[in-house]
């Protein structure tokens, strides 16, 4: 037997195996990441253990979001201050005002990373970066949160997720 | 009888004496009857034993060893070039196979793991007032820049709920 020929044959098989691995990886990459436009939803949520103040029209968050938050955080009631859905080009920034005091700028930077600039009272407070790919998965949430300065013991939550997160819940039901 | 003479006779029968020593012994035995009788008795005993001893038979050669013997004979005649020609061809094959297959397997497992989020993910979740044993930090998951000095933050992930959190403190 020609051992040299055999070793070359095995090397070719190994290269074929690596090529196959790369193809599988490419095929399993979510198509949403490869899309040019990006669809996201942002919600500003208030978390408290108290009931909603009388006179204020506060809408409770969806049951799916509440079940997630109750399992993670200590607050029992979550109210939606604002909920916005939008589509924007991947490499163009998107500026959105979520409340009179809160404004955010979302931008996709290198390596499909989502960069969120959080403004409070028109002052840049934080810049947060997070990989985009997990956010686009079904049911995945990216949450930026903090204590509520104006209401002791309460908290605010900026929820960034796939726009259809609530619709998927209804379909499953 | 002289013990030294008996030893010489035994050595003679075993073929251990030189030619001169054998002639000397035979000359000595001409004048020694007892020695001649001992020599005759030992020769008779040897003849008797040789007639009843087991015969030697050659073992049958296994077919594979037979051809291997021929190949080795050819290799010996043509020098050691035959063997040295084969060995380097076999070793690269084993070397390739020994690391490529495990490496390919590990790469596939790692790829699937990354794809499914097993490697960066954590299976714990934080509940209520902070069950620290279930809380896990998401390694290198978030980066936070702050304009405020002394501003603290923690980042964690609940794998069960699929929620990544960056918690910013107001301190």
Is residue A157 within a helix (H) or strand (E), and if so which, with residue range? strand A155-161
Residue B36 CB burial class (10 angstroms; 0-12, 13-18, ≥19): middle
Tell me the pLDDT of chain A averaged across its residues: 79
Flag if A126 and B169 touch (Cβ within 8 Å): no
Tell me which of A4-8, A87-91, A128-132 is least confident.
A4-8
Q: Which residue has the tokens 């979550």?
A: A78
Q: Domain count of chain B?
A: 4
| Higher pLDDT pick, A47 / A110 | A47
In this complex, which of A17, A140, A149 lies closest to B104 when CB atoms are compared? A17
| Chain A residues in contact with B169 (beta carbon < 8 A) | 146-147
Rounded to whole angstroms, the Cα distance separating A135 from B162 reads: 9
In this complex, which of A6, A137, A144 lies closest to B166 when CB atoms are compared? A144
Domain that holds residue B65: 60-89
Q: What is the pLDDT of residue A128?
A: 86
Q: How many residues does chain A have?
A: 173
Q: What is the pLDDT of residue B139?
A: 40
| Chain B residues in contact with A119 (beta carbon < 8 A) | none
Residue of A nearest to B163 (CA): A141
Flag if A145 and B107 touch (Cβ within 8 Å): no
| Chain B residues in contact with A146 (beta carbon < 8 A) | 167-170
A52: distance to nearest CA of chain B, Å?
20
Picking from A62, A134, A107, the residue whose alpha carbon sits closest to that of residue B155 is A134
| Chain B residues in contact with A139 (beta carbon < 8 A) | 162
The residues in B 87-106 lying below 8 A from A, measured between CB atoms, are: 89-90, 92-93, 96-97, 100, 104
A112: distance to nearest CA of chain B, Å?
13
Q: What is the DSSP string of A62-124?
A: PHHHHHHHHHHSS-SEEEEEEEEEEEEETTS-EEEE-SSSEEEEEEEEGGGEEEEEEEETTEE
Q: What is the pLDDT of residue B23?
A: 92
A57: distance to nearest CA of chain B, Å?
27
Q: What is the pLDDT of residue A173?
A: 39
Instruction: Say whether pLDDT at A25 is over 70.
Output: no
Joined tokens for residue B42: 């030992």
Q: Which residue has the tokens 């079904």?
A: A138
| Chain A residues in contact with B151 (beta carbon < 8 A) | 126
| Chain A residues in contact with B94 (beta carbon < 8 A) | none
Domain ranges of chain A: 1-35, 36-172
Beta bridge partners of A96: A104
Reported pTM = 0.47
Tell me the C-alpha to C-alpha distance, in Å, between residue A91 and each of A109, A113, A118: 7, 10, 18
Q: What is the pLDDT of residue B168?
A: 82
Q: What is the largest CA-CA distance in chain B?
A: 130
pLDDT values of chain B reduced to their tens digit, one per residue, 171 residues:
688 889 999 999 888 889 999 999 999 999 899 999 999 999 998 888 877 766 667 777 677 777 888 888 888 888 755 555 555 555 777 778 788 888 989 999 988 888 766 654 443 333 333 444 444 444 444 555 555 444 577 888 888 888 888 888 765
B167: distance to nearest CA of chain A, Å?
5
Query: Residues B67, B42: one domain?
Result: no
Flag if B146 and A134 touch (Cβ within 8 Å): no
Q: What is the DSSP letter of B132?
A: G
Instruction: Dump pLDDT digits (tens) for A53-87.
Output: 777 778 899 998 898 999 889 999 999 989 988 88
Is the ipTM reported for this complex over the cut 0.85? no
Is residue B46 within a helix (H) or strand (E), and if so which, with residue range? helix B33-52
Instruction: Say whether pLDDT at A48 is over 70.
Output: yes
Flag if A68 and B162 touch (Cβ within 8 Å): yes
Q: What is the pLDDT of residue A58?
A: 83
Tell me the C-alpha to C-alpha distance, in Å, between residue A172 and each of A96, A167, A169: 31, 9, 5
């Amino acid at each position: 037997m020609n051992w040299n020929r055999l070793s070359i044959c095995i090397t070719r098989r190994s290269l074929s195996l690596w090529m196959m691995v790369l193809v599988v990886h490419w095929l399993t990459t979510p198509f949403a990441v490869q899309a040019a436009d990006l669809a996201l939803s942002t919600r500003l949520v208030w978390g408290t253990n108290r009931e909603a103040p009388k006179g204020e029209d506060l809408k409770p968050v969806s049951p799916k979001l509440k079940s997630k938050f109750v399992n993670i955080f200590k607050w029992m009631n979550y109210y939606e201050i604002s909920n916005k859905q939008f589509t924007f080009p991947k490499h163009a920034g998107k500026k959105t005002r979520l409340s009179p005091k809160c404004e955010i700028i979302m931008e996709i930077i290198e390596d499909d990373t989502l960069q969120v600039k959080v403004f409070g009272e028109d002052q840049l407070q934080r810049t947060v970066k997070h990989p985009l790919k997990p956010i686009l998965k079904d049911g995945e949430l990216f949450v930026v949160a903090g204590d509520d300065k104006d209401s002791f013991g309460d908290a605010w939550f900026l929820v960034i997720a796939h726009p259809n997160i609530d619709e998927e819940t209804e379909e499953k039901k | 009888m002289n013990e030294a003479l008996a030893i010489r006779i035994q050595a003679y029968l075993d073929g251990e004496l030189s030619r001169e020593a054998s002639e000397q012994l035979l000359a000595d035995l001409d004048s020694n009857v007892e020695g001649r009788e001992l020599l005759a008795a030992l020769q008779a005993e040897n003849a008797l034993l040789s007639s009843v001893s087991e015969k030697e038979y050659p073992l049958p050669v296994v077919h594979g060893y037979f051809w291997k013997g021929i190949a080795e004979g050819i290799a010996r005649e043509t020098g050691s070039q035959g063997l040295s020609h084969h060995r380097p061809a076999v070793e690269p094959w084993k070397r390739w196979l020994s690391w490529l297959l495990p490496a390919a397997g590990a790469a596939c497992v790692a790829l699937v793991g990354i794809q499914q989020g097993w490697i960066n993910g954590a299976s714990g979740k934080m509940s209520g007032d902070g069950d620290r044993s279930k809380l896990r930090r998401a390694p290198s998951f978030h980066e936070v820049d702050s304009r405020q000095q002394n501003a603290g933050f923690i980042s964690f992930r609940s794998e069960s709920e699929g929620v990544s959190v960056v918690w910013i403190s107001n301190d």
